[in-house]
Structure 1
Amino acid sequence: MRWQNIYVSGTGAWLPPAVSARSAVDSGEYDPEQFEADGLLSVRVAPDDVAPPEMAVEAATTALKRSGASPEDVALLVHSYIYFQGIDGWPAASYVANHAVGPRVTALELKQECNAGLVGMELAAHRLASAEPGTSAVLTTADRFGAPLMRRWRQEQGIVYGDGAAALVLNNQGGFARLVSTATVSDNSLEAVVRGRGFEPLPNGEQQSLAERVGHYVQQHGTLREATERLIAVVGEAIDTALADAGTDRQGVAWTVIPATGRSKMEWQVQKMLGVSEERTTWEFARRAGHLGAADQFAGLNDLAETGSLRPGDKVLLVGSGSGFTCTCAVLEILAEPEWRAAGGPGAEVGP
């Protein structure tokens, strides 16, 4: 879908200190062979006393300050995540909205696995398209992954999970980047790949392992080949549609914000699925942060903005994907260099 008068006016991230991948190998948490194959340098690990909604408030506060929007301008806050938010059966989005924006803004939670950030942006754009000029929407996503239920270094082959939060502010009047197009494509039959053995009547407190769930699928079907081919088709259709609607192609894209994986998966994604050079992706950021759940795209864009990598006229492709399987892609056109470039970002390295 092609958009008119939808802009990105601010970005923000909260990222805790980095823990080196080498130290995880030395402690036995990270498989040495996988370490060599992935090429990851570090992942972000949050202290025990910080919950994801608190991280999201920090990221949203930064993004709002940078956007120039006032709380009264914000009509919607969408908070997404893929894991525990600190309290079961509790509206995390309301906490984030109350502490980052105010008590009266509409607050929604979105669960769409690692694609939730970008699909939330697409949904918020629909809301802003019919709103009064000057209206904003805040998008946040935050997660932390820790023992004993999550083994961040061994949870999924080729992916190491990092902690952190990111936020993005959309506005329907102006910003440093224009949202040109979005496309979402799904194949819901692929949910079986990560379903595992099946349903449980209640949470059983068992340690989660996506690798084991995928292994169960392979046992039942004999191979991942067909599922992989269908996944590639979904991602390719979303990319091609978003680029076509934006009137450009892969060669016309200055930067591609990619899901954060190890090199064992990243090279396949970049070369086979995207057809872009590694140097024009957010791989260097990703290999130092780890997979931040649904925050990879907003955090990657924020890093490009903070490091002064964006130039007016640049086209930026954001690629999201979530097990299930759904892929959302977005194309941005940079209108101006963000004023906060090279600032490092308040709250970027320390906790709330």
Structure 2
Amino acid sequence: MRWEDVYVAGTGVWLGEPESARSALDSGAYDAQQHAADDIVSVSVADSSMAPPDMAVHAATTALKRSGLDAEDVDLLIHSGIWFQGVDMWPAASYVAGHALRRGVLAYGLEQECNGGLGALEIAARQVGTGPGTSAAMVTTADRFGAPLVRRWSSEPGFVYGDGGTALLLSARGGFARLLSTASGSDNSLEAVVRGPELRPLPSGEPLDLLGRVGHYMRAHGSVREATERVAAVMDSVVDTVLADAGIGRADVTRVVPLASGRSRMEWQVPQLLGIPLERSTWEFARTVGHLGAGDQIAGLNDLLERRELKAGDRVLLVGGGSGFSCTCAVLEVLDAPEWEPWRPGE
């Protein structure tokens, strides 16, 4: 869908301190062969006191400050995460909205796995694009991954999990970039890839075993090749749609911000699937912070801005994807690149 008068007014992140891949190799937490394929340098690790919603509050506060808007200007907050959000059966979105914005803002949680950040962005764009000319909406994400329930270095081959919160503020009043288009697609039958052998009536309390679930799917279906091809088909269709709606082609994309994976997966995502050189992606950032759950694209965009690697006229393609399978993409056009101070870990 093509958007008119929907702008990105601010972004923000909260990241922990970097934990090196070398230390994980030395401790035995990270497999040497997998590291060779991933080429990961480090991941963001939060300290023991930081819960995910507080990360999102920090990120949202930064985004709001950078936007120049007031909390009273924001009509909607959508929060996403893929893991535990601090308390069971509790509305984390309301906490983030109440602490970062105000008590009266509408707050919703969106569960769409790793596509949650961009899925929320498309929903927020509908709010801003169809609302009054003063409308604004905040998207936040946050996750923290820790032992023994999640083994960040080995739970899912090709992804090393990092802790962090992100925020992006859309506004009808203006901003540093214009949202040109968004598009989404899905293949819901692919939820079986990570479901495992059965549904359970209650939580098991066992460590996350995505590798075991995928192994079950492979035994039942022979391989994951067909599933991978179907994922690629959905992503290819969504990318074609979002670029067509933006009125540009793949060659016109200045930078692409995909899921933050290891190098082998990143090369499949960007050069092979998208046909865009890896050098135009946010790979160098991704390999230092890890996979931030639903927040990779917002964090990657924020890094490009803080490093001042974008200029007026640049087109940025954000590419999402989450098990299920869902995919949302967005195209931004930079109007006036901001001069923000770079993020410092742990702030």
| Shift, 1:155, TM fit | 0.7
Structure 1 runs of 4+ aligned residues shifted over 2 Å read: none
Which residue in 1 is equivalent to 2:346? 350
Which residue in 2 is equivalent to 1:130? 130
In 1, distance between residues paired with 2:311 and 2:339? 12
Q: Can you list the C-alpha shifts for 1:56-113, whole angstroms capped at 9, x where unaligned?
A: 0000000000001101100000010000011001110111001100101001000000
Residues 229-268 of structure 1: pairs in structure 2 closer than 5 A: 229-268=229-268
Q: Can you list the C-alpha shifts for 1:181-205, whole angstroms capped at 9, x where unaligned?
A: 0010100010000101111110010
Match of 1:14, SS?
strand
Match of 1:93, SS?
helix
In 2, distance between residues paired with 1:129 and 1:332? 15
| Shift, 1:304, TM fit | 0.5
Which residue in 2 is equivalent to 1:142? 142
Please list every run of 5 or more consecutive structure 1 residues that lacks an aligned counterpart in the other structure: none
**AA aligned opposite 1:171:** S
Q: Would you say the 8 A contact 2:187–2:325 is kept in 1?
A: yes
Residues 1-352 of structure 1: pairs in structure 2 closer than 5 A: 1-340=1-340, 343-345=341-343, 348-351=344-347
| Shift, 1:339, TM fit | 3.1
| Shift, 1:45, TM fit | 0.6
| Shift, 1:221, TM fit | 0.5
| Shift, 1:131, TM fit | 1.6
In 1, distance between residues paired with 2:338 and 2:240? 28
In 2, distance between residues paired with 1:150 and 1:285? 23
TM-score for the superposition, normalised by structure 2: 0.99
| Shift, 1:268, TM fit | 1.2
Q: Can you list the C-alpha shifts for 1:286-326, whole angstroms capped at 9, x where unaligned?
A: 00000000000000000001000111000000000000001
Q: Can you list the C-alpha shifts for 1:9-63, whole angstroms capped at 9, x where unaligned?
A: 0000000100000110000000011111110000001111110000000000000
Match of 2:304, SS?
helix
Match of 1:115, SS?
helix
Q: Would you say the 8 A contact 2:10–2:175 is kept in 1?
A: yes
In 1, distance between residues paired with 2:2 and 2:28? 48
In 2, distance between residues paired with 1:168 and 1:243? 21
Please list every run of 5 or more consecutive structure 2 residues that lacks an aligned counterpart in the other structure: none
| Shift, 1:271, TM fit | 1.7
In 1, distance between residues paired with 2:335 and 2:39? 34
In 1, distance between residues paired with 2:173 and 2:286? 31
In 2, distance between residues paired with 1:156 and 1:24? 15
| Shift, 1:210, TM fit | 1.0
In 1, distance between residues paired with 2:134 and 2:65? 15
| Shift, 1:134, TM fit | 2.2
| Shift, 1:128, TM fit | 1.1
In 2, distance between residues paired with 1:321 and 1:256? 14
Match of 2:294, SS?
helix
Identity across matched positions, percent? 60
State the Cα RMSD in Å.
0.8
Q: Would you say the 8 A contact 2:42–2:289 is kept in 1?
A: yes
Q: Would you say the 8 A contact 2:308–2:339 is kept in 1?
A: no
Alignment length (residue pairs): 347
In 2, distance between residues paired with 1:117 and 1:81? 8
Match of 1:193, SS?
helix
**AA aligned opposite 1:344:** P
